[in-house]
Amino acid sequence: MLGVEHTVIESVDLETDGRGQEMLVAQVRVKAGAARRCSRCRRRFPGYDTSPTPRRWRGLDLGTTPVYLQATTSRVTCREHGVVVAAVPWARPGSRFTTAFEDTAAWLVCHATLSVVAMLLRVAWRSVADIVTRVVADRAATVDRLAGLRRIGIDEISYRKGQRYLLCVVDHDTGRLVWAGKNRTQETLNRFFDDLGADRAAQLTHVCADGAQWIHDVVAVRAPNAVVCLDAFHVVAWATEALDQVRRTMVNRLRAGGHHDEATALKGSRWALLKNPPNLTGDQRATLAGIAKANGGLYRAYLLKEQLRAIFQAVELTDARALLGGWIAWARRCRLEPFVRLAKTIKNYQKLILNAVEHGLSNARSEATNTHLRLLTRRAYGYHSPEALIAMADLTRGGLCPPLPGRS
Ligand SMILES: [Zn+2]
C-alpha cells in the first residue's frame, strides 16, 4: 500500500498535526541488501555515521489521509564521491517526497493543469517544479535523446516577458524536444552540437530555424550536410504579427478620430483575424465579412497573411516559387507598412522558405511542440530558474514523462 521496495516497515501510526489534520506515519528502514549505498553511484560502502533525528518523506495519500515515511538517515564513505548521504529505496536523493509520489506528480503535470496537480496532491507549485527537475534528471540519464536525429528545428523561445531566451531543438519527425539550453547565443548552439558530436551532426539532413543569421552561421559549420530551411511556423508567425500591427494602428486611428464604438468592435476582431479559416466560429466569420466590407486595408492584410500560409501547402515547388514571387510583389505595393517591411524580409529568405516547401518540412508535430513551449513560458508560474523551465519542457515535450506507479 505504501508503494515501497527493499524496505522494512516497522510500525504504522496515526498522528494529528497542529491543525487537527490526521496523517499516517510509517516508521521504515532500508532492507539490509539495499543499505549503505552511495546515493550518487549506488555502490556499496562502509557506513560513516547515522543522523540522530529521523527524517520524513511525503508519500501518496491513502484515501483522504496524507502519508509520511519516517526513517533515520545515514552517510557512507564512497571511494569516488566522499562522505555522502546513503541512498534510500523509497526516494530520490535530496527529495522530501517518495519516488511514487514524485512520479505521480510528474505524470499529472503532463496530463492536467498545474492548479489541478497542486490541489489534488496538496503541494505548492515550487515543490512541483523541484519534483519535475529531479524526475527529468533521473529519466534523462537512462535515454539518449539525441540518437537517430535526421531533421531538426532550432528555435528561440522567450520567457520573462521577452527578457530571457531558451534555445530549443526539436526532432522534426517525432515532434519531441530533444535539447534545450539557456540564452540564444552561438555558444549555446555550439553546446548542442558538442553534445550531439560530429558523427551524428553529419547525419543531419535538414535544419529548420527562424531567420536568425547567427543560427545559420553555426549550422553551416557544425552540420555541413544539412539543408537549411525556414519553416511555415516562423513565416506565418511573422505575417500574423504584421497583421496585428495593422489592426492596432487602425484601432488607434479610429480612437483618435473619436470613433470609439468602431475602435472597440475592431479591437474585438483580433481572434477572427488571427485564426485559421477552418477554425472560425459563425460569429467570427460574420466579423470578417464586416471587415471586408468596411475596412479594406485590414482585410487586405488578412488576405496577405492567409495567402502566405497557403504557399506552404503547395505540392509543386514551381507553384510555390510562383506564389511566393507573386506574394512579394503584392505585399510590396499594398500600402500597409508592416507588410511592405515583411516583403523585404521574405525576399531575403526566399530560398530558405522554398527549401522548406521542397522538402515537405511544414511539420504539424513540431509546430504543436513550438506552440506548447510558447504557452509554457507565457504562464505566470514564476519559474525560479531557466533550469526549472527547461525541465518542465523536457518532461512535457521531451518524452520523459514517467509511467504512473503501480501500473505495469
Ligand atoms: Zn558514489
The pLDDT tens digits for 129-170 are 899 999 999 999 888 999 999 999 998 888 877 778 889 999
Q: Which three cell numbers stand for residue 247?
A: 489592426
pTM for the whole thing?
A: 0.78
Ligand 1 centroid distance, CA of 27 (Å): 26
- Whether 342 contacts 234, CB under 8 Å: no
Cα(104) to centroid(ligand 1), Å = 27
Q: Could you tell me the distance, in angstroms and rounded to a whole number, from the CA of residue 79 to the centre of ligand 1? A: 7
pLDDT grade for 385, boundaries at 50, 70 and 90: confident
Contact 43, 86 (CB under 8 A): no
Cα(24) to ligand 1 centroid in Å equals 33
Q: No. of H helices and E strands in the chain?
A: 16, 12
Position 189 scores a pLDDT of 96
Q: How far is the centre of ligand 1, averaged over its atoms, from the C-alpha of 78 (Å)?
A: 5
CB-based contacts of 382: which residues, under 8 Å, 6+ apart?
125
Q: How far is the CA of 99 from the centre of ligand 1 (A)?
A: 20
Looking only at the bridges linking them, the beta strands covering 151-159 and 164-171 are antiparallel
Tell me, in angstroms, the distance from the centre of ligand 1 to residue 34's CA. 14
Q: What is the DSSP letter of 90?
A: T
pLDDT at 382: 58
If you measure from the C-alpha of residue 58 to the centroid of ligand 1, how many angstroms do you get, rounded to a whole number?
Answer: 25
CA of 77 to the centre of ligand 1 (A): 8
